[in-house]
C-alpha cells in the first residue's frame, strides 16, 4: 500500500465498510484479511449473491454482531483506489440527494469495473483494465491545428478576470449566441494546461454539438497530443468508456469533454471546470440518482478550490439570481465575435390570419424570398410525428392510448403508411379503418408535427430540397451527423425539425428561421415553461445570420403581447429574467424556494395517493421530523397530469421550503422512513431533489 501506511484506520486485517449498489440505507461491514484501503473495489458476498463494492471506511467495530460478519473474498487492485476527493463528491451527492452511498458510487463507475463477470471466468485475463492496456487505443482523429484568433475586448476581459483569480470562484459567462464563448473556453483551457492541470468541460449533448469538439481539438492541437483530448458520454461502448475513465484517473486525459455523467470522472489534477449551456435541462439526470451535473460541478469546484465557469446565452434563472446577488461572478459577452449582427426577430400575430397548414402568408412569402436569394431556411416546430391526434369529425372521437391517459400520435412510417404511437409508453398500433364509436370512415389528423410540416413544405415548394431532423429521423446511429453534413454542404434548402436543430450547430448560409406553434410552451403547467420557451427560441433564433448576412426570425403567435415574446424581439434576456424572477419571488417559487418531489407509482391511483398521504402524516409521528418540518411545507398529494402511463398510475407530493438547510434536515429524516412505508403500501416511489418538472 502506498501513501496510507501507518494510520490506525488503515489496519488491514480488520473490518471494512463496503458501499454496495443496493437500494437500502445501511452499513455493510465485512472482515478483511487483505490490505484494503478506502476507495478500493472488493468482491463480497451479499445475501445469496456476490457483488462488487467499494471500501468506504474502516470501522473500529462492525455494525453487526460478530457471528453474522462475512468476509471480503477478493480485493480488486487493477486500478488505484478511488481518491478521497472523489469519495467526498460521492458522499455529498448521496447526502444531498438522499440516496444510499452505494447507489451513487457504483453506477458512477464504468460498467466493466462493477460487473462481477469482468473479473471471473477463464478469460478474465487479470480484469478489464489489464485487458484494455493490452489493446492499443483507437487512433486519434486527425485535426488541422488552428491558430488562436485575436480576442475582442470583452473576451479578453473575461479570460483575464477568470485566470487572474485565485482558488474557487463560480463565474456566470453570459454570452449571446455567436459571441465567441468557445474561444474564451479555449483560452481558459490553455491557461490551465500551462499549469499542468486537467480540465473538465461539460456539454449537454456531444452528438448534437460536434462543432464544439472539432473547434476545441483544432485550437488545442498545438498544445496537447490528440490522445490527451478525451471524450466521455453515455453513447460510448463499455470499452471506450472504461478507457476514457482510466485515462482521466491516470491524468493522461488533460482535457475531458463529456456529458453529465462525466462529472463523476476521477481527475486527480483537476484545475478548471466549464459547463457549456449551463441552463440545459439535460444536465439533470432523470432516473436513478437524479443529480444535477451543473450543481455538482459547482460543489466539486468549491471543494477542490478551483474555478468553475458556467456559460450560456440564456442562463437558468437560478444561476442568474446567484450572479445578481453576488454569489457568482458575472461576465458578459454582449457583442457577436464576427461581423454579423443579431438576427431581426419579428412576431407574426396569427389571431386574424388564415393559416395554411399552420403557416401564415407572411412566413410563406418570407420562405420564398429567402430561397430565391439562395439562402437556407429553418422551420422549427417542437413536436415530432405527423399529427398529435387522429379524430372523427362526426362524433368527436380521438385516438387514445389504452395503457396511458394520453392521445396517440399519428406517425408516417416508411412507404408512407401511417401508424399511431403513444409518446409516453411507446406503444404502437394500426390506424383504425373507421371510427370505433360511430363507424365513420373519415378520420382526420388534428394539428401537426414535423412530418406533416415537411410534407406540406415539399408540396408548396416542390423545387426545394427539404430535410427533417427530429428523434424519428435520426434514430439510426450517425444519421443526425449525415443530415447536418448535408445542410452544411448546401445540399438542403429547407431544414425542419424539433429542438434538436437548435443545439450548437452553426449554419453558415441560414437566412430565415420560422417558428410554428411556440405558444404551446407558454401555457405549459410547469412554472418553468416561459423560461424554457425563451431559452429555446433564443437558441433557435441564434442559428440565423451568424456570419455575413443579417438573419431574420419569424415567430408565429396568438399572444404577441406576452413579456417573453416582447423580450425576445429586443434580445433582452435580462429584461425577461427580471420580469420572470419578480413573478417567482411573488409566488415563492425557485430560486426563492427549495423543492423536493415525492412521486408514487401504483396500479391504482388511490394506492399511490394513500402512500403520499401517509408519508405526509409521518412528520407528525416523529418528533425530530416535526421539529425539522417547521419551515417546510408539504402540499396535498395530486395526480400527475398524465396520470396513467403503461397501466401504472402516478401521483406526487411537493415539499417546499424557503430555507434550504431546513428542507435538507427534514428530508434526511423523512427519506429514511419512506422505504419501509412504500413496502407496506406496495408502491414504487422516487424522491427527487430540485426537480425541474413539476
**Closer by beta carbon to Zn ion, 294 or else 383:** 383
Q: Does 403 bind Zn ion (CB under 5 A)?
A: yes
Using the rule CB under 5 A, which residue among 422, 540, 553, 602 binds Zn ion?
Answer: 422
Q: Does 91 bind Zn ion (CB under 5 A)?
A: no
Element (H, E) at 410: strand 409-412
In the complex, least distance from residue 389 CB atom to Zn ion, rounded to whole angstroms = 13
Stretch that binds Zn ion, among 258-266, 372-380, 435-443, 528-536 (CB under 5 A): 435-443
- Strands 70-71 and 28-31: what pairing? parallel
Q: Does 394 bind Zn ion (CB under 5 A)?
A: yes
* Beta strand extents in 463-509 (DSSP E only): 466-469, 494-497
Q: Does 36 bind Zn ion (CB under 5 A)?
A: no
- Beta-bridge mates of residue 409: 421
In the complex, least distance from residue 206 CB atom to Zn ion, rounded to whole angstroms = 30
Using the rule CB under 5 A, which residue among 33, 160, 165, 438 binds Zn ion?
Answer: 438
Nearest to 545 by CA among 510, 572, 501: 510
* C-alpha separations of 188 from 149, 151, 340 in Å: 14, 12, 25
Using the rule CB under 5 A, which residue among 17, 336, 424, 452 binds Zn ion?
Answer: 424
How far is it, in rounded angstroms, from Cα 171 to Cα 161? 10
Query: Which grid cell is 204?
Result: 449537454
Q: Does 33 bind Zn ion (CB under 5 A)?
A: no
Residue 285: helix, strand or coil by DSSP? Answer: coil
- Strands 638-645 and 632-634: what pairing? unpaired
Stretch that binds Zn ion, among 118-126, 173-181, 366-374, 397-405 (CB under 5 A): 397-405
Using the rule CB under 5 A, which residue among 19, 104, 404, 483 binds Zn ion?
Answer: 404
**Closer by beta carbon to Zn ion, 116 or else 441:** 441
**Closer by beta carbon to Zn ion, 256 or else 599:** 599
- The radius of gyration of the chain from alpha carbons, rounded to an integer in Å, stands at 27
In the complex, least distance from residue 498 CB atom to Zn ion, rounded to whole angstroms = 20
* Beta strand extents in 491-645 (DSSP E only): 494-497, 510-515, 552-557, 594-602, 632-634, 638-645
Nearest to 512 by CA among 551, 469, 549, 568: 551
Nearest to 654 by CA among 526, 520, 489, 540: 526
Phi, psi at 606, each rounded to 5°:
-60, -35
In the complex, least distance from residue 396 CB atom to Zn ion, rounded to whole angstroms = 7
In the complex, least distance from residue 35 CB atom to Zn ion, rounded to whole angstroms = 53
**Closer by beta carbon to Zn ion, 336 or else 391:** 391
Using the rule CB under 5 A, which residue among 425, 453, 602, 629 binds Zn ion?
Answer: 425
The answer to whether 264 touches 108, Cβ cutoff 8 Å, is yes
In the complex, least distance from residue 469 CB atom to Zn ion, rounded to whole angstroms = 25
The answer to whether 589 touches 692, Cβ cutoff 8 Å, is no
Using the rule CB under 5 A, which residue among 38, 215, 392, 494 binds Zn ion?
Answer: 392
In the complex, least distance from residue 608 CB atom to Zn ion, rounded to whole angstroms = 18
Stretch that binds Zn ion, among 395-403, 453-461, 501-509, 649-657 (CB under 5 A): 395-403
Phi, psi at 375, each rounded to 5°:
-105, 165
Q: Does 420 bind Zn ion (CB under 5 A)?
A: no
Instruction: Round to the nearest angstrom and report the end-to-end CA distance of the chain.
Output: 49
Using the rule CB under 5 A, which residue among 440, 491, 604, 636 binds Zn ion?
Answer: 440
Q: Does 437 bind Zn ion (CB under 5 A)?
A: yes
In the complex, least distance from residue 399 CB atom to Zn ion, rounded to whole angstroms = 11
In the complex, least distance from residue 433 CB atom to Zn ion, rounded to whole angstroms = 12
Stretch that binds Zn ion, among 339-347, 437-445, 601-609, 654-662 (CB under 5 A): 437-445
Binding-site size for Zn ion (CB under 5 A) equals 15
Stretch that binds Zn ion, among 83-91, 311-319, 390-398, 536-544 (CB under 5 A): 390-398
**Closer by beta carbon to Zn ion, 437 or else 585:** 437
Using the rule CB under 5 A, which residue among 69, 116, 130, 395 binds Zn ion?
Answer: 395
- Beta-bridge mates of residue 602: 649
Q: What is the DSSP secondary structure assignment for residue 123, as one 8-state letter? A: T
Q: Does 648 bind Zn ion (CB under 5 A)?
A: no
Q: Does 443 bind Zn ion (CB under 5 A)?
A: no
**Closer by beta carbon to Zn ion, 334 or else 395:** 395
In the complex, least distance from residue 409 CB atom to Zn ion, rounded to whole angstroms = 10
Stretch that binds Zn ion, among 29-37, 153-161, 430-438, 585-593 (CB under 5 A): 430-438
Stretch that binds Zn ion, among 275-283, 348-356, 398-406, 685-693 (CB under 5 A): 398-406
**Closer by beta carbon to Zn ion, 7 or else 428:** 428
Q: Does 435 bind Zn ion (CB under 5 A)?
A: yes
How far is it, in rounded angstroms, from Cα 496 to Cα 367? 12
The answer to whether 590 touches 622, Cβ cutoff 8 Å, is no
Site string for Zn ion, 515-554 (x = CB under 5 A): ----------------------------------------
In the complex, least distance from residue 637 CB atom to Zn ion, rounded to whole angstroms = 23
How far is it, in rounded angstroms, from Cα 511 to Cα 507? 9
In the complex, least distance from residue 413 CB atom to Zn ion, rounded to whole angstroms = 18
**Closer by beta carbon to Zn ion, 443 or else 580:** 443
Cα-based angle 544, 548, 549 (whole degrees, multiple of 5): 55
How far is it, in rounded angstroms, from Cα 507 to Cα 547? 9
Q: How far is C-alpha 215 from the geometric centre of its chain's CA atoms?
A: 22
The answer to whether 36 touches 16, Cβ cutoff 8 Å, is yes
How far is it, in rounded angstroms, from Cα 385 to Cα 399? 14
**Closer by beta carbon to Zn ion, 392 or else 580:** 392
Please tell me the total number of residues recorded for the chain in this structure.
694
100-119 burial, b at 16+ Cβ within 10 Å, e below that, comes to bbbbbbbbbbbebbbeeebb
**Closer by beta carbon to Zn ion, 647 or else 658:** 647
How far is it, in rounded angstroms, from Cα 573 to Cα 312? 11
In the complex, least distance from residue 641 CB atom to Zn ion, rounded to whole angstroms = 14
Query: Which grid cell is 335?
Result: 457583442
Q: Does 397 bind Zn ion (CB under 5 A)?
A: yes
Q: Does 640 bind Zn ion (CB under 5 A)?
A: no
Residue 2: helix, strand or coil by DSSP? Answer: coil
The total of other beta-carbon atoms located within 10 Å of residue 91's CB is: 15
Question: Which residue ranges make up the site for Zn ion (CB under 5 A)?
Answer: 392, 394-395, 397, 401, 403-404, 422, 424-425, 427, 435, 437-438, 440
Amino acid at each position: 500500500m502506498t501513501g496510507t501506511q501507518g494510520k490506525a484506520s488503515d489496519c488491514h486485517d480488520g473490518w471494512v465498510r463496503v458501499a454496495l449498489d443496493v437500494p437500502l440505507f445501511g452499513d455493510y461491514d465485512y472482515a478483511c484479511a487483505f490490505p484494503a484501503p478506502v476507495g478500493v473495489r472488493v468482491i463480497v458476498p451479499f445475501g445469496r449473491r456476490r457483488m462488487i463494492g467499494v471500501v468506504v471506511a474502516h470501522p473500529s467495530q462492525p455494525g453487526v454482531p460478530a457471528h453474522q460478519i462475512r468476509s471480503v473474498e477478493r480485493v480488486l487492485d487493477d486500478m488505484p483506489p478511488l481518491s478521497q476527493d472523489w469519495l467526498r463528491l460521492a458522499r455529498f451527492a448521496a447526502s444531498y440527494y438522499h440516496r444510499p452511498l452505494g447507489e451513487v458510487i457504483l453506477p458512477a463507475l464504468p460498467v466493466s469495473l462493477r460487473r462481477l463477470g469482468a473479473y471471473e471466468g477463464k478469460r478474465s485475463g487479470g480484469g478489464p483494465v489489464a485487458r484494455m492496456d493490452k489493446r492499443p487505443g483507437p487512433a486519434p482523429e486527425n485535426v488541422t491545428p488552428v491558430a488562436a484568433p485575436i480576442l475582442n475586448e470583452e473576451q479578453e476581459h473575461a479570460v483575464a478576470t477568470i485566470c487572474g483569480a485565485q482558488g474557487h470562484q463560480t463565474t456566470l459567462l453570459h454570452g449571446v449566441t455567436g459571441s465567441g464563448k468557445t474561444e474564451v473556453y479555449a483560452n481558459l483551457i490553455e491557461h490551465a494546461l500551462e499549469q499542468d492541470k486537467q480540465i473538465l468541460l461539460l456539454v449537454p449533448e456531444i452528438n448534437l454539438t460536434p462543432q464544439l469538439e472539432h473547434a476545441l481539438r483544432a485550437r488545442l492541437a498545438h498544445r496537447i497530443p490528440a490522445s490527451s483530448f478525451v471524450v466521455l458520454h453515455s453513447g460510448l461502448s463499455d470499452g471506450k468508456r472504461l478507457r476514457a475513465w482510466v485515462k482521466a484517473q491516470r491524468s493522461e486525459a488533460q482535457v475531458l469533454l463529456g456529458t453529465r455523467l462525466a462529472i463523476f470522472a476521477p481527475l486527480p489534477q483537476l484545475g478548471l471546470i466549464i459547463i457549456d449551456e449551463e441552463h440545459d435541462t439535460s444536465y439533470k439526470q432523470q432516473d436513478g440518482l437524479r443529480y444535477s451535473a451543473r450543481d455538482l460541478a459547482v460543489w466539486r469546484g468549491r471543494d477542490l478550490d478551483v474555478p468553475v465557469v458556467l456559460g450560456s446565452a440564456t442562463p437558468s434563472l437560478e444561476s442568474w439570481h446567484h450572479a445578481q446577488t453576488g454569489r457568482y461572478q458575472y461576465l458578459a459577452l454582449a457583442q457577436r465575435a464576427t461581423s454579423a449582427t443579431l438576427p431581426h426577430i419579428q412576431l407574426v400575430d396569427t389571431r386574424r390570419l388564415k393559416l395554411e397548414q399552420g403557416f401564415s402568408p407572411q412566413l410563406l412569402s418570407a420562405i420564398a424570398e429567402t430561397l430565391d436569394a439562395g439562402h437556407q431556411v429553418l422551420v422549427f416546430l417542437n413536436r415530432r410525428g405527423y399529427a398529435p391526434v387522429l379524430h372523427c369529425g362526426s362524433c368527436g372521437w380521438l385516438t387514445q392510448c389504452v395503457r396511458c391517459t394520453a392521445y396517440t400520435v399519428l406517425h408516417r412510417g416508411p412507404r408512407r403508411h401511417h401508424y399511431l404511437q403513444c409518446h409516453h409508453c411507446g406503444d404502437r398500433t394500426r390506424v383504425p379503418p373507421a371510427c370505433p364509436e360511430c363507424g365513420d370512415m373519415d378520420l382526420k389528423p388534428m394539428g401537426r408535427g414535423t412530418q406533416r410540416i415537411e410534407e406540406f413544405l415539399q408540396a408548396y415548394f416542390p423545387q426545394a430540397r427539404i430535410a427533417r431532423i427530429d428523434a424519428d429521423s435520426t434514430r439510426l446511429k450517425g444519421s443526425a451527423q449525415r443530415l447536418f453534413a448535408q445542410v452544411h454542404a448546401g445540399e438542403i434548402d429547407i431544414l425542419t425539425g424539433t429542438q434538436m436543430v437548435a443545439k450548437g450547430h452553426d449554419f453558415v448560409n441560414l437566412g430565415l428561421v420560422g417558428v410554428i406553434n411556440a405558444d404551446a410552451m407558454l401555457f405549459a403547467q410547469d412554472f418553468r415553461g416561459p423560461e424554457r420557451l425563451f431559452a429555446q427560441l433564443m437558441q433557435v433564433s441564434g442559428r440565423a445570420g451568424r456570419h455575413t448576412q443579417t438573419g431574420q426570425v419569424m415567430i408565429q403567435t396568438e399572444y404577441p403581447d406576452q413579456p417573453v415574446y416582447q423580450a425576445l424581439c429586443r434580445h433582452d434576456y435580462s429584461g425577461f429574467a427580471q420580469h420572470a424572477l419578480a413573478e417567482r419571488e411573488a409566488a415563492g417559487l425557485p430560486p426563492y424556494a427549495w423543492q423536493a418531489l415525492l412521486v408514487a407509482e401504483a396500479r391504482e391511483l388511490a394506492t399511490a395517493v394513500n402512500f403520499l398521504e401517509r408519508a405526509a402524516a409521518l412528520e407528525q409521528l416523529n418528533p425530530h421530523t416535526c421539529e425539522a418540518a417547521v419551515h417546510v411545507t408539504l402540499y396535498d398529494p395530486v395526480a400527475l397530469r398524465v396520470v396513467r402511463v403503461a397501466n401504472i398510475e402516478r401521483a406526487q407530493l411537493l415539499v417546499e421550503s424557503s430555507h434550504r438547510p431546513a428542507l435538507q434536515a427534514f428530508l434526511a429524516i423523512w427519506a429514511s422512513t419512506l422505504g419501509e412505508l412504500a413496502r407496506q403500501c406496495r408502491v414504487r416511489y422516487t424522491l427527487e431533489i430540485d426537480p425541474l418538472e413539476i
